[in-house]
Structure 1
Amino acid sequence: MTILAYGAPAADRPLEEMAITRRQPGPHDVQIEIVFCGICHSDLHQVRSEWAGTIYPCVPGHEIVGRVAAVGGHVTSHKVGDLVGVGCIVDSCQHCPDCEEGLENYCDGMIGTYNSPTPDAPGHTLGGYSQQIVVHERYVLKITHPEEQLAAVAPLLCAGITTYSPLRYWGTGPGKKVGVVGIGGLGHMGLKLAHAMGAHVVAFTTSPDKIEDAKALGADEVVVSRNADEMAAHAQSFDFILNTVAAPHDLDAFLVLLKRDGTMALVGAPATPHPSPNVFNLIMKRRSLAGSMIGGIPETQEMLDFCAEHGITADIEMIRADEIEPAYERMLAGDVKYRFVMDIATMGA
């Protein structure tokens, strides 16, 4: 089937409306009419080939929400009319240890929602800046939020699971002191989730003008990380720090805030590497520096259900499809609170 999409024909070309082809649903496929798609910073990196390896035309988008339009004959988990989502994964090998544990995000054969090789035309996956998508039922997620919140649910499919997974894995909950570094698309979700999990939450920001916003998002305390006295007051006190900042920065400034056996997890994907930390800051207190990448399908469903139960959505600003390039520039400038979402109905309008 032929549908409309927004994609980049080349690294040095702006996104434009284009026609793309989707496969007809197979026996285990779900055809989804996309209603909204969140705009992730990685979309920008990919369309401009800043991480290298981008395949063109590149149609980004992996924060997809919509309605089931059709299902294959063997589909049992979804029906026409259901509200559903698709995140960063549309396929995996399904038989490796990672897949068997529900950690498809770490499968070596994981197929990303866009820019991954596939037998379907044009030879690579095309993402959610489009009117429809066809996905195997295993990778389609149920949405139980009220329909009027659907647009604000979209960013949960990447920003939500990217922060939820490490918070859960490293035991965020009552009695734990948890830091969240950066108050952007990822960080604002980290604050909401850590607060809902019952931790004592401390936000770190370089911007004093974000203090009140951070408190409104769930922070119990806010530290301006450029203030040495404020940072020193929290030395050796954190059980876990979620670092959402992608820009290269001094990791040691945060590692020394961890307790013995504390962990800092990095989830921001930098275009260039962070400066290497002082190993003694790890050795002397048995601290850990870790990373985390999105989450598997079962955990992503768990995250969506948790957010629905606790009334959590992203803070968003809606854009038309033809506003994507200005939105990218504003995102680079940090001029969004806190996630753009594309209204797919504006394509072709």
Structure 2
Amino acid sequence: MDPMALMYTSGSTGRPKGVLQPNAGYQTAGQAYVDRMGITADDVWICTLPLFHAGGTHLMLAPTIAAGASLVLVPRFDVRAFWPQVHAHDATLTLLFPAQMSMLLSLPEDPTDRDNELRLSISHVVNPAFTERFGVEILTTFSQTESLGMGALTPPGSRNVAPGVVGPALPPELEIRVVDPAGDEVPRGERGEICLRHPHLMLGYHRDPENTGAALRDGWLRTGDIGTLDDRGWLTYRGRIKHMIKRMGENIAGEEVEFALMRHPDVEEAVVCSVPDPIRTEEVFAIVRGRDGRAPDIAALIAWIGDELSAWKLPRYVRVDATPFPRLPNGKLDRVTLTRDVDPADAWDREAHRVRLVDPA
């Protein structure tokens, strides 16, 4: 297949790579979202993302074209302008990052909050509070620039979706397997690297044979992400391999801790990284920003997420930032900038405050 587009990855974890994408991939991904989400020509997307990254193009523009629907492209996400834009265009579909949903929840409540046409939003995590307040169902997804938006997506109407669950393969004929470092498939329910296979995934990285060879092996795309498959074949996303934290021989997925932190009502944004530790190899370092400018009670926050996470996954260090986190042009967190100069000396230390770790019952 000949390449149709050269799209660069966001570079959220390192230097962006140019992904060579085939025309057939756009067609396949677009129709897959139409079929899974029930998109029709009457639907209207409200798109706050640029079209030079996968979220705007593969997840919104491609299905718009496939269904003959409409797409409203706004310059950027503005928390106070979002709902007026939805109303002005009778938008029915969108894509929201977890932080954007948190920002919308921070708006003053109004009796008309549910009076909107928006019925579905794609995101990385469910947010029951958002759905309850605004009446918008969240469909969780897993995909990459390299997969042209294909991967997994929860079907509309899915109930009690657990954190991290991103649903069955999208499109259905896409193959998903989870493997160990040697490339051998692991049993259902065990963690490993997520691999995808479909003839319409990326062709390779532009002028980068080394990274192409590492990512494409025996027809499979090695995503660099950790996940599990259940007996139904539904995928659960556990985090990036590059974001894994090695503490006392145990692997901790940074995103799992982030999602738990962001479910707290006093937290607007959260990011987790590792810092070196002479005894435990690495320790968990969290950066949080409170909602509405309020600094959360850190000890209470750690105790709260301790009801969900195992004790050894809880952050030892927590830094509270007052300003919004830096973001890349596609809306993703700029992790490189945010975590570049983390210093335990500048953070709250759980051990110094003698906060005991107790596993949830």
> What TM bracket, shorter-length normalisation?
under 0.3
Q: Which has the higher contact order (CA 8 A, sep 6+)?
A: 1
Please report the TM-score for the alignment, with normalisation by the length of structure 2: 0.27
